[in-house]
Amino acid sequence: MYNTETPICNIHHGRNVKRFREMLGIKSETLVQDLGQDWNQQKISLLEQKENIESSILQQIATILKIPVEAIQNFNEEQAINVISNTINNNDNATMTNPAVFNYQPSFNPLDKMVELYERMLEQQKELIEKLEKIINK
């Protein structure tokens, strides 16, 4: 569980736009081009400094970034860090008592699956060749 005593901070839409844009590797120049002629580099910079952004602009940006508008509206970095740090702190012993929590071990051998797939492909090719030979012989 995470600490519920941590004060909830206001969500800063502009900072979230900038974070998501940077995480997705989208330059501000690209955002300017995609938003249209009314936009320029300075306007994007000012937008990313605004705490609250109009929903119509948020929707346009979310569409360009290909993320849900709710991600921009609701993402709070401090809360995310608190949840992650408290989860890690509360589960420190989890790796000792249950290594499968963090160390996924497949219950099958991937090499066996590849061989099985290859054999199935060969069988399908043989069937196809037989069908083609029958067609040619007719």
pLDDT value, residue 134: 92
- Closest by Cα among 31, 30, 29 to 72: 31
Catalogue the long-range contacts made by 118-127 (C-beta closer than 8 Å, 24 or more residues apart): none
pTM for this predicted structure: 0.54
In the chain, what's the furthest Cα-to-Cα distance?
Answer: 82
Sign of CA dihedral 114, 115, 116, 120: positive
Given the candidates 3.20.20.150, 1.10.260.40, 3.40.50.1820, 1.10.1740.110, the CATH classification of the domain at 13-90 is 1.10.260.40
pLDDT value, residue 1: 44
Q: What are the residues whose beta carbons fall under 8 Å from the beta carbon of 124, sequence distance 6 or more?
A: none
pLDDT value, residue 77: 74
* Tens of pLDDT, residue by residue, the chain (138 residues): 444 444 455 789 999 999 889 888 999 999 999 999 999 999 999 999 999 999 999 999 999 999 888 888 888 777 766 666 666 655 555 444 555 455 555 566 777 777 888 888 888 999 999 999 999 998
| Element containing residue 84 per DSSP (H, E) | helix 77-90
| Axis crossing angle, helix 55-65 with helix 13-23, rounded to the nearest 10 | 10
pLDDT value, residue 7: 46
- Closest by Cα among 5, 29, 1 to 85: 1
